[in-house]
Amino acid sequence: MSGKGGYSSIDDPNEGSSSEPLLSSPNKKNTWKDHVKRAQLYVKQNLLHILTLLAVIAIMAVLIIYMFLPEASVLPHKPKNNRIIKPGVSELTMEAGRAKCEAIQTRKRDKSTPSPNRKNPRADPTQKPILFKHAVVWDGQGGVLDDVDVYVEDGVIRQVEKNIKVKRDDVKVIDVAGHIMGPGLVDMHSHMGVDSWPEFAGTDDTNEMTQPLTPFVRTIDAFNPSDKAIRIVSSGGVTTALVLPGSGNLIGGEAFAFKLLPKATVSNEDMLAQANINPEEETKWRWMKHACGENPKRVYGNRGQMPSTRLGEAYLFRKEYQRAQQLKQAQDDWCEAASHSPSARFESPFPEDLELESLIALLRHEVLLNVHCYETHDIEAMIRHSLEFNFTISAFHHALDAYRIPDILRRAPNNITIATFADHWGYKKEAFQAIPEAPKILYEAGVPLALKSDHPVLNSQHLIFEAAKTTHYGLPPQEAFKAVTSTPANAIGLGHRIGSLKVGYDADLVIWDREPLELGATPLQVFIDGVPLFREPAIEPVVAHAQTEQKKTNAKAPKKLEGATSFALKNVGYSFLGESPVKGPIEIVVKDGSVICSAADCTPAIASVQNALPEYDLQGGYVLPGLIGVGSSLGLIEIDGEAHTGDGRVASSKSYDPKDIVQAVDGIKLSTRHLEEAYKGGILSLITAPMSNNVVAGVSAAFKTGADSLLTDGALISPAVALHLQIGDDYKSSSFPTISSQISFIRQILKDNLKNDNDYGKAAN
């Protein structure tokens, strides 16, 4: 019967039950059904264990099979998911990368300091020592030493003191005889060697104007050591020049400093100011040129390319700085990883790019940046970029508006130098608002001031004249001299060895024929590294230097003289009003616009004037007749770079008709700033011809620069002064393709009009 739990009960054998016995008898044969039943019972009781065992066996079988499969397995796979494990760069490549990392960490980036015991790595071992006697030393740092000796050996200044005694027998002695001796001049903005003389298309390598960002080009690769300008410029006392790329590009490329001593090897590398220096002992600086404002936007805007605005300029600058910054960070990351894994071999070498190499050096403060900028907002933008990307600007060049923003200049972490002109201005809008007092204002604001040439824009031979002109507008003389010696030397990182006449400095020296800031000052001899550049002249002793010293006065004309047509000038030092100069003191009396007396005593003339005459004490100043300017376009155009501010240019024409001759008087405009500045400079009259591309330029007019209008009485001196004809390359055209055709045309028009009453006939007769 069934029990409670539903299981069948076991029959009692004693009851004689008919049920089958629990166990079969040994003699009884089991059927296959019995085996099946027993197996089913076993599986039912051990199902979990059996399944686990089967799973383990299956997994082991799969693993064994996979281990013995060939590489090109028949198993399905996707090649794009395969990852190729690279073996890494070579150990040699890793070592090179680590060396670059070490160089980044150890490279000197500070300006070197002067050392009295330093050696000049450029020195000529065959050059004998020189002892200069009885010199008046202008040391380039503001100091003046009277009657001292200067001893030079191995290309270095070894002593500067009185009565130097030298025991060597091979010393050459030069008696300076009281002349002024100073350091060689330093021009920190020149294109000498890349814009060589004579200026041909084949010698012009100033700008790589195929794209606006070219930090990767270098002036040393184009510098011509045979440029004829090198010797001419050095004859003016310039011994070192920083040769920059031009300003057509935003980033013009890398600059190099050269000493103007050509080498027998005709090698421009041997002319480098830093040739042969030990970078472990002194910083080996690099230099770069950037430009902002009108030049780049005009060059590329005219092509329909970016930048055509200052907005585009700023974006391109920042984008390129960002590219360099990102690569710099990748380099730093590589170096950081390498420093923690001395035996590792990375998948890629040290990251670098030749296009960005110099910009990365700028971001690492290994490059002294020189930026061509004029206007206040351009200068401010560049300072803003420098702060954003953490680089420094060594100097702003030209920077004719910098005098207005000393506070903006002070936002930079360093004291930026302004490398500017004395009075070169007005040729384009960004140069138009300049004033000649700017150098003095910058000096008084504590801004380092350098004067430069932008050679060949200005002939660098006359760099000292730039300094001389600034003294007329109030810059102290020694500050003006520093502006062409020690200040630019400091700005280019070489102030520890050039730009000063001090012990331990390179023997770059100039002996002057007179005070360097006097009009016409010229070197008697120039030395570079102690080597004389020119034949040695006989140096005559300075005689009565004080008597020939240029007179300087701060006297101002009294207000009562303004507009006066009658007045008296007292204490005149020299008068050049007559056929020959008259030395004063003399008096000059003007009545109703005419000179009525020029003599030592003009009392009677003064008495003859009914009204009291205003008087002006010249304090020994000179009186000259008003100067007459000829050959300029003053009165016809105000800003050369802005054609719409002018009368326009006459087109080339083969017309023989005298009626087609242009008259300048028809286009003259007075009361302009250029005419005002000319008037203040003593140019009281001008003769101006038409602006023309034609062989027959036209008829010039003469007029007063101080007049308000041509309608003012006396303003127009002559409406027709002369017929102006032009011959040369500049006037070749489809009408006159050759110079010979120009001459032929002139000959013909003059011959044909010999007897005619017209401008051609008047000129022919």
My answer on whether omega of the bond before 585 falls inside 30° of 0, hence cis, is: yes
- The pTM assigned to this predicted structure is 0.85
Q: Tell me if residue 314 falls in helix, strand or coil.
A: helix
pLDDT digits (tens, 9 = 90+) for 304-363: 999 999 999 999 999 999 999 999 999 999 999 999 988 888 989 999 999 999 999 999
Q: Give the span between the Cα atoms of 55 and 61, in whole angstroms.
A: 10
Helix and strand element counts for the chain (H, E): 18, 27
Please write the tens of the pLDDT for every residue from 517-534: 999 999 999 999 999 999
Q: Average pLDDT, whole number, for the chain?
A: 90
What number is the average pLDDT over the span 636-648?
96
State residue 16's pLDDT score: 45
pLDDT one-digit tens code per residue, 600-623: 999 998 888 877 888 899 999 999
Q: How far apart are CA 381 and CA 369, in angstroms?
A: 15
User: Which domains are present in the chain?
Assistant: 185-307+370-486 (3.20.20.140), 559-625 (2.30.40.10), 628-764 (3.20.20.140)
Give the pairing type, strands 130-138 and 172-175: parallel
Handedness of CA 313, 316, 322, 324 (dihedral sign): negative
pLDDT in tens, 190-232: 999 999 999 999 999 999 999 999 999 999 999 999 999 999 9
Tokens 């350098």, located at residue: 450
Residue 600 gets which letter from DSSP? S
- 289: closest CA among 252, 335, 262? 252
Would you say residue 9 has pLDDT above 70?
no
Q: What sign does the dihedral 617-621-625-628 (CA atoms) show?
A: negative
What is the C-alpha separation between 171 and 174, in angstroms, rounded? 10
Exposed/middle/buried for residue 461 (C-beta within 10 Å: 0-12, 13-18, 19+): buried
- Is the CB of residue 488 less than 8 Å from the CB of residue 450? yes
Supply the pLDDT for residue 85: 55
Q: CA angle, 179 as apex, 174 and 181 as ends, to 5°? A: 75
What is the residue-wise DSSP string for 528-571?
A: ETTEE-SPPPP-PPP-SHHHHSPP-------GGGTT-SSEEEEE
Residue pLDDT, tens place only, 137-165: 999 999 999 999 999 999 999 999 999 99
Q: 533: number of CA atoms within 13 Å, CB side?
A: 28
Q: Which residue has the tokens 């024409």?
A: 653
Tell me if residue 587 falls in helix, strand or coil.
Answer: strand
Backbone torsions φ then ψ of 131, nearest 5 degrees: -115, 115
Dihedral through CA 476, CA 479, CA 483, CA 486, nearest 10? 160
Q: How many whole angstroms from its chain centre is CA 18?
A: 125
Whole-angstrom CA distances from 456 to 191, 203, 206, 523 are 7, 13, 11, 20
